[in-house]
Amino acid sequence: MSQFSQHNFKNQKALIRVDFNVPLDEHFNITDDTRMKSAILTIKKVLSDGGSVILMSHFGRPKNGPEGKFSLKHLLPHLQELLGDVKIAFADDCIGNDAQQKAHDLKPGEVLLLENLRFYKEEEKGDEAFAKKLSELGDIYVNDAFGTAHRAHASTAVIAKYFSADKKMFGLLMEAEVANAEKVMHKSEKPFLAIIGGAKVSDKILIIENLLERATDIIIGGGMAYTFMKAMGGKIGNSLCEDDRLDKASELLKKAEEKGVCIHLPADSIIADKFDAAANISGALSNDIPDGWMGLDIGEMACETFKGVIHHSKTILWNGPMGVFEMKNFQHGTKTIALAVAEATANGAFSLVGGGDSVAAVNEFDLADKVSYVSTGGGALLEYFEGKELPGIKAIRES
Ligand code: AMP
Q: pLDDT tens string for the chain (399 positions)?
A: 789 999 999 999 999 999 999 989 989 999 889 899 999 999 999 999 999 999 999 999 999 999 999 999 999 999 999 999 999 999 999 999 999 999 999 999 999 999 999 999 999 999 999 999 999 999 999 999 999 999 999 999 999 999 999 999 999 999 999 999 999 999 999 999 999 999 989 999 999 999 999 999 999 999 999 999 999 999 999 999 999 999 999 999 999 999 999 999 999 999 999 999 999 999 999 999 999 999 999 999 999 999 999 999 999 999 999 999 999 999 999 999 999 999 999 999 999 999 768 888 999 999 999 999 999 888 999 999 999 999 999 999 986
The domain spanning residue 210 has which CATH number?
3.40.50.1260
- What's the rounded Cα separation, in Å, for the pair 100 and 42? 23
Q: Do residues 252 and 246 touch, judged by C-beta distance below 8 A?
A: no
Q: What is the distance in A from the centroid of ligand 1 to the CA of 325?
A: 8
Residue ending a domain, choose from 145, 175, 205? 175
Q: Say whether 356 is catalytic.
A: yes
- Is residue 281 located within the same domain as residue 144? no
Residue 352 is assigned to a structural domain of this protein: yes
Same domain, 49 and 133: yes
168 and 245 share a domain? no
Nearest CA to ligand 1 atom 10: 324
Q: What angle do CA 152, 198, 19 make, to 5 degrees?
A: 35
Q: Compute the distance between CA of residue 158 and CA of residue 138 in angstroms, rounded to an integer.
A: 15
Give how many domains the chain has, as a whole number: 2
The atom of ligand 1 lying closest to the CA of 326 is: 12
For 282-310, the DSSP string reads: EEEETTEEPTT-EEEEE-HHHHHHHHHHH
Pocket of ligand 1, candidates 357, 362, 382: which has the most ligand atoms within 8 Å of its Cβ, to mutate?
357
Residue 61 lies in a domain: yes
The helix (H) or strand (E) run that includes residue 168 is strand 168-170
* Burial grade of 76 (CB within 10 A; 0-12, 13-18, 19 or more): middle
10 is catalytic: no
Name the active-site residue from 73, 200, 255, 370: 200
Residue 3, Cβ density class (10 Å: 0-12 exposed, 13-18 middle, ≥19 buried) = middle
Asked if residue 231 and residue 114 are part of one domain, the reply reads no
Q: Maximum CA pair distance of the chain?
A: 70
CA 50 – ligand 1 centroid, Å: 47
Its domain, for residue 81, covers 3-175
**Domain ends where: 144, 175, 206?**
175
- The reported pLDDT for the residue numbered 399 is 67
Please, what sign has the CA dihedral across residues 176, 181, 182, 188?
A: positive
Return the bridge partners of 236, or none.
Answer: 289
Instruction: Based on the fold, state whether residues 103 and 219 are members of the same structural domain.
Output: no
Interval between CA 324 and ligand 1 midpoint (Å):
5
- Distance in angstroms (rounded) separating the CA atoms of residues 288 and 282: 13
Is residue 151 domain-resident?
A: yes
Same domain assignment for residues 198 and 343: yes
Q: What is the pLDDT of residue 377?
A: 86
Residues 215 and 364 in one domain: yes
- Asked whether residue 38 is domain-assigned, the answer is yes
Check 60, 235, 307, 379 and give the catalytic one: 379
Domain match, 37 and 112 both = yes
- 333 catalytically annotated: no
Q: Which amino acid is at 280?
A: N
CA 302 to chain centre: 27
> Which residues lie with the beta carbon below 6 Å from any ligand 1 atom?
198-200, 203, 222-223, 240, 295-296, 320-321, 323-324, 326, 357
- pTM for this one? 0.93
- Helices 34-49, 172-186: inter-axial angle, 10-degree rounding: 120
Residue 180 maps to a domain = no
* Residue with CA closest to ligand 1 atom 17: 223
In a domain, 394, yes or no: no
- Does the annotation count 392 as an active-site position? no
Report in angstroms the alpha-carbon separations of 97 from 32, 56, 100, 101, 130. Answer: 33, 16, 5, 6, 14
Q: Do 192 and 170 have their domain in common?
A: no
What 3-state class would DSSP assign to 163?
coil
Q: N- to C-terminal Cα distance for the chain? A: 20
Same domain, 16 and 146: yes
Do 332 and 246 belong to one domain? Answer: yes
Q: State how far the Cα of 60 lies from the Cα of 54, in Å rounded to an integer.
A: 20
User: Quick one: 135 and 217 in the same domain?
Assistant: no
Residue nearest atom 1 of ligand 1, based on CA coordinates: 198
Q: Is residue 111 included in any domain, yes or no?
A: yes
Secondary structure, 3-state, 217-249: EEEECCCCHHHHHHHCCCEECCCCCCHHHHHHH
Domain boundary among 119, 153, 175: 175
Does 390 fall in a domain?
Answer: no
In angstroms, the CA 145 to CA 159 distance is: 14
- What pLDDT does residue 390 have? 97
